[in-house]
Structure 1
């Protein structure tokens, strides 16, 4: 299949690009600066464009079967960067007929705040990262309202460790015990495995 990846220059995005190519898929990577992926396989198609660049987003979606967002931000001031970018991608998907969308948000978004085990993490979400999580909530709401088959993945704390091939899916009020950490490589593998078993079925999953 052909997969369009947004946020492709980030740590999770790069793993999605590499993993999708390794699985035999066509990959289109949307990013502001194509040189940031210069070290990756040239078989990955690079499309330059900003998050509000509608023509660039449309080019990245040409012929795609599914789009994946690994967009992130560290801006702690009030902003709508993630939700605005997601709305732009979803609108372009509707125009181009791409019907499946997967997005990485975070554990603690929406109704999953009560599933966060760490008191420190709960405090961070409510204070230092309050605006980041608020916009991720808006991002998730935009996805649900788009009328497109979706998968929202809320990973726990992300690490740069080697993939384990193991993860725990939590839905609804389910909770896990202990530290809620997961390797970015496992998040990427999980999402790609779900892409290979379309449709997503409008699923929201906490992944640890």
Structure 2
């Protein structure tokens, strides 16, 4: 399988690329800086912007699925830190991506959102709901809402994963999937576990037209 990874230079995207390569995939990665990723004989690194249709079009050529780990990033992990990326980065990218996927005959899309978006808001701890409303995290959550709406309204074979708090633990754990009802999600999941499950989802056609919360058992 040959896939396009958007957000491949980010902390989750790098794990998606690594897990995909370990699974024997061929990977296209569209990044702002080619030097942000290590070379690999099955990795094609394309320098450009996901907000430019011509760059997306080029990156999609020859692929059969797309994984987006894009997020509205801040200058630091401090929740009130200023934004580093446009506040509509994800939705603007998805808005261009969907018709381009149709044009290329690509139907499979997996996008990373966040627990607490849409109908998963009831699973959020009260303190975190307050933080979303009162800090700069709100920009990412608002754009997750916009991108999810665009994806759900498409005719693609889509999956939207809503991970709980992401950690940098270098361990693959068993995942827990929460739909519209239980089991209650745990509080964290490692980026590597999420990435591993995304690749497993591509290999086994999991969770079409679903947007579950994903955490660890």
TM-score of Structure 1 vs Structure 2, range by shorter chain: over 0.9
Q: Which residue of 1 aligns with 2:194?
A: 187
Q: Which residue of 2 aligns with 1:122?
A: 129
Aligned residue for 1:98, secondary structure, equals coil
Query: 1:199 offset after TM fit, Å?
Result: 6.4
Q: Which residue of 1 aligns with 2:77?
A: none
Query: 1:124 offset after TM fit, Å?
Result: 1.2
**Aligned in 2, Cα 1:171/1:199: closer, same or farther, shift over 3 Å?**
closer
How many residues were matched structurally? 205
Report the aligned-residue RMSD.
1.7
Q: Superposition pairs for residues 6-21 of structure 1, below 5 Å?
A: 6-21=6-21
Instruction: Please say if 1:81 is aligned against 2:89.
Output: yes
For the 8 Å contact 1:149–1:200, the answer to whether it is kept is no
User: TM-score, normalized by length of structure 1?
Assistant: 0.92
Q: Which residue of 2 aligns with 1:206?
A: 213
Deviations 1:49-91 (A, max 9, x none): 1122112111111121110000011356793221101111222
For the 8 Å contact 1:66–1:101, the answer to whether it is kept is yes
Deviations 1:18-52 (A, max 9, x none): 11011001111111111111x34243101111122
Cα distance between partner residues in 1 of 2:42 and 2:105? 24
Q: Which residue of 2 aligns with 1:62?
A: 61
For the 8 Å contact 2:51–2:89, the answer to whether it is kept is no
Aligned residue for 1:168, secondary structure, equals strand
User: TM-score, normalized by length of structure 2?
Assistant: 0.88
Structure 1 runs not aligned, ≥5 long: none
Aligned residue for 1:204, secondary structure, equals coil
For the 8 Å contact 1:100–1:199, the answer to whether it is kept is no
Structure 2 runs not aligned, ≥5 long: 75-81
For the 8 Å contact 1:5–1:69, the answer to whether it is kept is yes
Instruction: Please say if 1:105 is aligned against 2:113.
Output: yes
Aligned residue for 1:28, secondary structure, equals strand
